[in-house]
Structure 1
Amino acid sequence: MMLSLEEVKDFVHSHDPNNYLVIAGGVLAASALTFGLYKKITGKRTKKVIPKDVVIVHGCGRGPYCPSLSPFCLKVETYLRMNRIPYQSDKDLEMSSKGKIPWIEYNGKVVNDSSFILQYFNKKLSIDVDRVLTDKERAISRAFQKMIEENLLWCVALSRWVYGYTDSRWTGFGWFIPKVIGRTVAKNAWAAGIGRHTQSEVEHIFDDDMKALSDFLGSKDFMMGSEPTEIDCTAFGMLAQIVWHSPKQPCETWIKEKYPNLKEYCLRMKDLFWEDWDECITHGGTREATR
């Protein structure tokens, strides 16, 4: 049994664009064409055995050249690795009750949204990787988080799905799914406001955000100093999309030529927390241009 074209479009348009739709929507829409996912989204969930004290991360599957096409899923997984919290990445695409990914299950507790997930474990397990930061530094960290997740996000999404720099079939989704996602991203970016700007204006904003991150990082190993903190999960999640998942786009050139410290930062985070990187991607190896 297959969903009709109109049912797929209605499903894609009915969910929050600020998570899987913008960055990993192709995975969702491709899977939505199967009856298996249709049963999941209509509530007929297959009961799974969840190990005690192990976090189950529900996302959108693995990405071609970095572990996820979603910066938010990569953010959560990096946080769990940073804090040595045992977890499993669920390979099946399954939306939360809010229609969002990522979401987690932990000892019977369900938590939605990447930021709420981090806050939950900070409290539950008495974690504070920001303990070395002053109040001022925490405020700066918060401001950069919001710039990345509320502004830079749209620039990445528009560049990936709308502006047509590269054939989106490199993601493995064929030709139809990127078209559906592109229309939906354009519509939601317009509603958010940033999509009302011209392409050149959006790219100017994109460049300014990357410059701000590069200038602030400077020669530091991590965003807030010599040790990684929570903002690094957010920054790495988004910047990794530019380093590994932005073929032939201007931002790929910027991060290599104008802001090489951001590229080196991503490689540093990758080496520190993702020793099994090549085992967590679908295309069998890191893109040559990234090293």
Structure 2
Amino acid sequence: MAGCMKKAKVSIGKDVVLLHQLERGVFTPSNSPFPLKLETYLRMANISYENDFKDPMGPKGKTPWMTLNGQDFSDSQLCLELLATKFSKDFSSHLTDEERAIGRAFQIMAEEHLYWVVVLWRWVYTKGKTLPNIQMNLPALLRYVMPIAVRIMKGQASAQGLGRHSEQEVIEMGMKDLRAISAYLGTKPYFMGDTPTEMDCAMFGILAQFVWGMQGSPFEPYMKDELINLKNFCERMKDKFWPDWDQCLLPPRV
């Protein structure tokens, strides 16, 4: 869903990122892969930041976006690349050109194809009925206009292309993506080897949705069996960069 009024620029301190994103989820700190990706990178890079949950939709009508030193920036990937340059936090500098190309290809598959499988499952195939289970404070208005929201999301998925296929075809496409990602990860701790890179933040953002945020979906049992290495990867990222994971859920777990 998009809203797109430009927000006022806010500065909270020199070189401190104000991360604008959706409210916390019940099982993951964000039910959108892109805020989870960017916040994980901020933690990986040890960049100081604060969260703003009041204005999640940025100037381009998407979430997340960020304010840094009085300037607003949109798109999780563009924000990540800007931060990597500004703070000299390039975790992929040791990779070969071929490895970078492979990483980019897998990331785009996850964020531009597999992501829409999540959208279709949550909004279209279940008609939004699973959303209250993973997002505690859904706007009351959304509950009343859910059929309209479903039609909007269905239209966006159709425009993207994946929404033109049958539910079974989309589920099979999602499984093929997940199996390809699992095969590439193999027994490596992280996607590019022994140390995490920016790609791992992106893959964690999307795979975390399948591990923790797709209850009742046909993908859920596979994440615990055939695709267990993807679940283990998510647990590894969670343990390494989110020691406060339970406290970042809504409601917090103690």
Residue 244 (structure 1) shift: 1.1
Residue 179 (structure 1) shift: 3.4
Residue 237 (structure 1) shift: 0.3
Match of 2:115 among 114, 131, 153: 153
Change (3 A) 1:169 1:180: farther
Map Cα deviations across residues 55-107 of structure 1 (whole Å, 9 max, x no partner).
10001121111101110000000000001001111121343221221111111
Partner of 2:96: 134
Match of 2:58 among 86, 96, 99: 96
Aligned counterparts of 1:44 and 1:186: Cα–Cα separation in 2: 28
Aligned counterparts of 2:155 and 2:223: Cα–Cα separation in 1: 27
- Structure 2 residue 111 is the aligned partner of structure 1 residue 167: no
Q: Structure 1: where are the runs of 5+ without partners?
A: 1-11, 16-27, 29-40, 287-291
Q: Is the 8 A contact 2:17 2:50 kept in 1?
A: yes
Partner of 1:108: 70
Residue 177 (structure 1) shift: 5.2
Q: Which stretch has the larger CA shift, 88-97 or 112-121? A: 88-97
Please give the secondary structure, in 2, of the residue aligned with 1:250. coil
Partner of 1:265: 233
Match of 1:277 among 227, 245, 248: 245
Normalised to the residue count of structure 2, the TM-score between the two structures is: 0.91
Residue 122 (structure 1) shift: 1.5
Partner of 2:198: 230
| Alignment of structure 1 residues 46-61 onto 2, 5 Å | 50-61=12-23
Q: What amino acid sits opposite 2:17 in the alignment?
A: V
Normalised to the residue count of structure 1, the TM-score between the two structures is: 0.80
Count of residue pairs brought into register by the alignment: 248
Residue 256 (structure 1) shift: 1.2
Match of 1:176 among 126, 140, 144: 144
Residue 108 (structure 1) shift: 1.6
Aligned counterparts of 1:148 and 1:226: Cα–Cα separation in 2: 21
Match of 1:217 among 164, 185, 190: 185
Q: Percent same amino acid at aligned positions?
A: 44
- Which of the pair is proportionally richer in helix? 1
Change (3 A) 1:188 1:119: same
Partner of 2:169: 201
Aligned counterparts of 2:232 and 2:126: Cα–Cα separation in 1: 27
Aligned counterparts of 2:35 and 2:186: Cα–Cα separation in 1: 26
Change (3 A) 1:257 1:232: same
Q: Is the 8 A contact 1:55 1:86 kept in 2?
A: yes
Change (3 A) 1:49 1:107: closer
Aligned counterparts of 1:169 and 1:95: Cα–Cα separation in 2: 20
Q: Structure 2: where are the runs of 5+ without partners?
A: none
Change (3 A) 1:241 1:180: farther
